[in-house]
Amino acid sequence: MLQGRSTFGERASWLLRLPLETPTVPFEDEASGCTLWLKLDHLLPSGCTKDRMATSIVAHAIASGEVSPSTVVVEASSGSTSIALSMVCATVGLPFRAYMPKTVSGERVLMIRRLGGDVVLTPAELGMDGAVAAMLRDWATEPDLYAARQFENPRNVFAHRHSTGPELIEQVGVRLDGFVAGVGTGGTLMGVAHALRDHGHDTVVARAMPVATGTADGRPEVAGGIPGIVDGMSRLLDPAAVGLAEAVLVPEPEALSTAREFGRRGLGIGPSSGLNIAAARRLAARLGPGHHVATVLPDRMERYFSTALFDDVAAEL
């Protein structure tokens, strides 16, 4: 529904009817002898699984009265959450402002601006910490701002617990032995893990963690690693609550090569999807032949044209 003459309330109610269901497809992994189940969240409207969280957060904020037609929604992110929020806010006619470190890919900035959002670029050397600090500073001093706070907002986990997880369980149709996902906010991993536990599954749930993310002084960092994956910022990640297993470590080059491999298989995915598939393969090898391991493919490749993901083909241009 485009805005037209519809009221703010009508547009807000339509958010809950956005088509956010995606298919899950099997992949027979010859090396491990296991079946990998890939949930294709890169097919969501903005091209990212963050649509689920963004819709949940904004719809709830409107329903609770925290957001009015004049409210500016703000968020600090490496890009994908801000793209999803800019789409959702444009749908209901809300202004949106993103805070991002200068090291994010230009494609992400262009997508946010095309969807009507504003972008504040923060110093590259401060990473995500600098983007969050800038957002919180404005939130504390400017009137009528609503901070989505993806790293701590419980609606993030709620969205995946009540949509991604149940969809995955129903679509796979067999008992899952393993589930892996990378962590930025932790919403996908925690939400799906809760859904698996809600359904009585004793699935091995593990975090997919790229090797060599972080700055030299140990601060969590997005740029230079796998975009969207960052350690130490999530306030939603609670390993004890869902019984997380030992993390699955994946070298960053393996994550990129896996994303490229599955691109050649017809899935136009980004680096974090490559990380998740590579981690699913490694967990499958750990479990042994005959098991079923699932993961989510978070986003599409278009926002990474200027990144290392395309280094192997960009030289031809």
The answer to whether 67 and 146 have CB atoms below 8 angstroms apart is: yes
**CA torsion angle for 261, 265, 266, 269 (degrees, to 10)?**
-30
CB-based contacts of 221-224 (< 8 A; 24+ apart in sequence)? 221/127, 221/128, 222/78, 222/101, 222/103, 222/104, 222/127, 222/128, 222/184, 223/78, 223/101, 223/103, 223/104, 223/124, 223/127, 224/103
- CA-CA distance, 187 to 51, in Å (whole number)? 12
- Domains defined for the chain, CATH in brackets: 8-45+161-312 (3.40.50.1100), 50-147 (3.40.50.1100)
> Which two tokens mark 146?
């609503």
Q: What is the pLDDT at residue 69?
A: 94
Q: What is the pLDDT at residue 17?
A: 76
Q: pLDDT tens, 99-148?
A: 999 989 999 999 999 999 999 999 999 999 999 999 999 999 999 999 99
If pLDDT is split at 50, 70 and 90, which confidence band does 1 have?
very low
Kindly state the DSSP code that residue 162 receives in the 8-state scheme: I
Q: What is the pLDDT at residue 206?
A: 98
Q: pLDDT tens, 7-45?
A: 887 777 778 777 799 999 999 999 999 999 999 999 999
* 24-29 vs 34-39, strand pairing mode: antiparallel
Q: What is the pLDDT at residue 221?
A: 44
Q: pLDDT tens, 204-250?
A: 999 999 998 555 555 544 434 899 898 889 999 999 999 999 999 99
Kindly state the DSSP code that residue 234 receives in the 8-state scheme: -
Q: pLDDT tens, 81-91?
A: 999 999 999 99
pLDDT at 176 over 60: yes
